[in-house]
Every structure is written in C-alpha cells, then in structure tokens.
Structure 1
C-alpha cells in the first residue's frame, strides 16, 4: 500500500552533503511531495531527537530524512521504539544507506519512490545504545573523518577529498594501539590500527569486501586490520580503493552476534555512519532485531549502482 503523503514530514539537515551545495535539490523533491508535505530544517542547536519528537507530536507517522548517512542515522536513532516510519531522501556525499535500499540519488525520483514505497522492518546495530546502519570503526578511521571534515570546510564536499584524507592520515599515523575483543567465541588481545564493524552488505560489496552473507544472517562482519609498517597501511588503503582487499592478508574477518571491545583509552574516538564521537569504553555491540520501520521502494522503482 503506497505511503500516505499526509503522514509525511521532511526533516532536512542544511549542512549535509548535497543539501549544503545544491539548494535546488530539496526543492525538486518537495515539488513531487506536494504542498501538503511540510519541510522542516534543523536550526542551530536543534538536535535530531528534538525535531523528530516535535514532528511525532504534530501527528506525522513517516519522517523523511533529507541528508546524508549521518542525518539518516540521527533520525533513525530518534525513531527507535516510536512505531513511526523512516524514509530517506538522499542528499549526502555517499548515501550508502539509501543506495543499499535501491533509492535513486535523483531527488525527484527518490521522492516518487518514497510515495510509492512501503514500510519494512529491519534489524539495526547498536554500540553503547547508539544506532548504526552502515558501520562502526575504531583506530585510524575516526582520525580520517576529522581530517576529512577539515578538508570539506576548506574546499567543499567532494569525494576525491575523502580518498585523499585516507592517505594523509595514514602517512601521519604513529603507534598502533592494543585492543581486546570479546565475542561468544572467546577473547583475543591484539595490536591493530583499525577495527571495522559492518552492518551494510551494500557497503561491503561496493568496497569489494566479503561478508555480505554474515550481514544477511543478522550478525556483525568484523574486520581487523593487520598491524605493520606505515607502508603496509598505505598498501592496505590502496587495495581498499581498488576493491582488492584480501581477507587473511590485509585484514582478518570474523562474525559475531555481539561483541565487546576494550581499548587503552577510557573514551576512545568512535566513528559510526560517517559521524564521530567519543564513547565510554568498553564498547558494547548488539543487534536489535526488527527495531526500525523503514520505507523501501517497490521493485519497479529500485535502481542498482
């Protein structure tokens, strides 16, 4: 059954990816939604939780996240336990969540797909009660994000800058930390520059990584980069960029229903779905089955990228 447009409220993050550099994109989507669908832009100091709470209080039951993966995750977090639906209008830089659902990155086509779509419940990953839909990482990647944001602020949001910051951060990398990973299979202590916990089969396939079957089984695909020299890390990044990362050589891959990661820092920097935050260790990961209702496009509206 198609989505009732009167149930829709669009929440936009003005600073997100395409929304920050193409003011016409969201206007094109709103023209498809029609005048009965309100557009609310986050104001300075307003949180996603506050905006979602107000929209639900006003009677809307489907919240459209207009922005990138960080915006989607923030709004999804606020919708957990509410019974309301999440829809996605992809206006970010990478848009891994929406592309994984088969949504077009064209705003008009995405809006039409939302109106014709239907709700579907999905399981989500949680780390210390923070929802994530794509991945969580520790080690080098959160530092890469910090470098990336600095580059974006200076030059604008372009994908080539995202790749450049990977190389720049690796070149400046110093000591490799020791971490402890506890799963239902046991405990291991190791030195690694990067731990990557994935929940998106689409993202893994885009980067040429195995593990999609693990995601389908509602488990975490956990990648642990092998420790080595700075040159080893550069080769790892090069293999990743060329989608030739080799499990067993570049990284170790295993799966888990839940895991705990202990780090040398009490509040390590953690990256999740493109955002970053310091979290209190240990980091507790779990999967919450069918925790989120999301609008997915009908087969005729799905695109493959």
Structure 2
C-alpha cells in the first residue's frame, strides 16, 4: 500500500543512497533489550556497509535533547535520523526532524504502532531495518497542537485520563493490548468530567460541552473504529471527534462500538474534518493534552492544525512493506 501523501508533495530532502544513519533509541526502560536491539541493527548495517551511529536515551537525558543532537549530526553529515521505539519516541524524534532538512525513518517497537503500520513498515526489527537500507523519501502529513507535532492523534478530556490509567496498569501488569483494553474499560466505568469548550474553525464559532475532543491524523486508527473521515487524512485535513454528554453506561457502549468498528454511527458521536481549529477550555489557562500517547500540560487556547510542511519519511520499497492490517 502506498503511503498517504501530505497536502503538498514538495519536498527537497533527498538523502544519498549511502547516507549515514543516526539512530535514536530509548534505553531508559530496558537496558538489556536496548543492547540487543543495537547489536542487531549494527550487524545489519555492517553487512550492508552502511555508516551508522547510536544515540541512546538513558538516565537523566531527555529524549528531545538526544533527538536534537541526532538532527544536528545528520545535518552536518547528510544523514538520516532514525527513531527506534514506541509512539512517544517516534513523536519526539519527528518533532526535532520536522523542518530541519533531514530525512526521518522509524523502526516501530511499540504496542499499537499505528504510524508504522499505516505506512507498511514492519514491526519485526530485522525486516524493518532491511527495508530502511533500501528506502526512499515520501512526504507525509503531520498534525500540530500549539506547535507540538503529532503523528497519530492529540486529544483532551477523557482520553488523556485513559492514557494515564493505562500507563499505571502497564507498570503493574505489563505491556499488552489486553491490559490496555481492560484499563480503558475501567476508566470509562468510573465516568468522565465534561469540558466546556469554545471552538473556532473555518470562520465558525460555537460553544460545546464534551467529555472528549479527539483529533486524528492516522487513517488506520480512525478506520478501525469506524470513522468515515479517515478517508480524507493525508490530504491537508485532520479529523475531529467529540463525545456528546453521555452516561457511564453510554460511554461503555461507545467503547464497544469502537471495538466493533461502528463508532461513527453512534448518536453520541460527532465527527468532522478541518485544517485549523482553535479550542479554548472555559475557565482554564492550562489543560492536559494527550499527544501520541504522552500526556502533557499545554496553555490555552489550543491550536490544532496541519503542519505547513510534510515530514520526509523514509519508506521501504513496495515489495518490502507489509500489508496494512
């Protein structure tokens, strides 16, 4: 499957076939796994005669600092910046790469991997690396909220709470989709606080009450839960999703509909597309926002938009991509 194109296909980043790789890997959560990953990648690079360097995130070093160093070195040497890890790692490295003139590649190692799966990048480490060694640049649309990049989604309200509870559950029970699902159901059963929002988009202004405002930039994720607007993503627009005021039982029903791929047909759901949207939570100067699985505080108002330039993503040749599942 060809990757969806951004609103513009103009992109100047064309690394050389033998461009060196600057590989950012987060070793803070599992030193032994990170060591094994580096050994595997080094072996494949050496076999292909490809120059490479590892930049590891460990201890007190924040990932954004390591990502910035990778970008600086790649710019100086005509290289490619590679992110290895889950959504948080991919997001942080993309934030540093966007607008830098460097090409970006991912070796997805997370739980859901919507970004990698959408673009046919294998989750198997060796397969993904072999694809990278033969990859070429394709421009890919990304979203931004208050200047911060999101590859998959950004949201406020109930969804950040779901993520916080899910992370706590994973710390206790381990990382798996089953743990994530059960944690989500427990959060929904506990109810949700409603937000009062002033929303402006495309010349329209309105006031709404909702438990969740979700903004998606990933067609695969939205298609899986049954949102028709998934079809327009990658064409210069983002998809918005709001849950109308609902009871706890209704929220659980919506979760079931999402699991069955029929969420878009629910009467408690409003979905829409936009290019730029300003959201002001009434009575709040700051609010928690979930950005590609990471929960951060942001100042109001929130501005959601398509980034003005695409991300130069390195994609394997079609024969080395995996089918979107």
Alpha carbons of structure 1 residues 190 and 201: separation in structure 2 relative to 1, 3 Å: same
- Residue 134 (str. 1) matches residue 152 (str. 2): yes
* Aligned counterpart for 2:69 among listed residues 40, 49, 54: 54
Structure 1 residue 54: Cα displacement:
2.2
Q: Report the counterpart of residue 41 of structure 2 in structure 1.
A: 29
Gaps of 5+ in 1: none
1:40 paired residue number: 55
CA distance in 2, matches of 1:67, 1:300: 23
Shift of residue 50, structure 1, vs aligned partner: 1.8
User: SS in structure 2 opposite 1:40?
Assistant: strand
DSSP 3-state at the match of 2:133: helix
In the alignment, the residues of structure 2 paired with residue 244 and residue 15 of structure 1 have an alpha-carbon distance, to the nearest angstrom, of 38
**Pair 1:102-2:98 in alignment:** no
Match of 1:14 in 2: 27
1:93 maps onto 2:111 in alignment = yes
1: CA distance, partners of 2:231 / 2:321: 21
Q: Write out per-residue CA displacement over residues 131-188 of structure 1, whole angstroms, 9 at most, x where no aligned residue.
A: 1111111111101111111111112211111111211111222432221211114112
8 Å Cα contact 2:158/2:212 also seen in 1: yes
Structure 1 contact 247–253 (Cα < 8 Å) conserved: no
Provide Cα deviations, 1:15-69, integer angstroms capped at 9, x if missing partner: 56x9886864453333222273222211222233321332344335211100011
Unaligned segments of structure 2, at least 5 residues: 1-13
Q: 1:21 to 1:225 in 2, by over 3 A?
A: farther
Give the TM-score of the pair, scaled to structure 1.
0.92
Contact 1:19 1:26 in 2 (8 A): no
The equivalences for 1:142-161 within 5 A come to 142-161=160-179
| 163-172 or 201-210: bigger deviation | 201-210
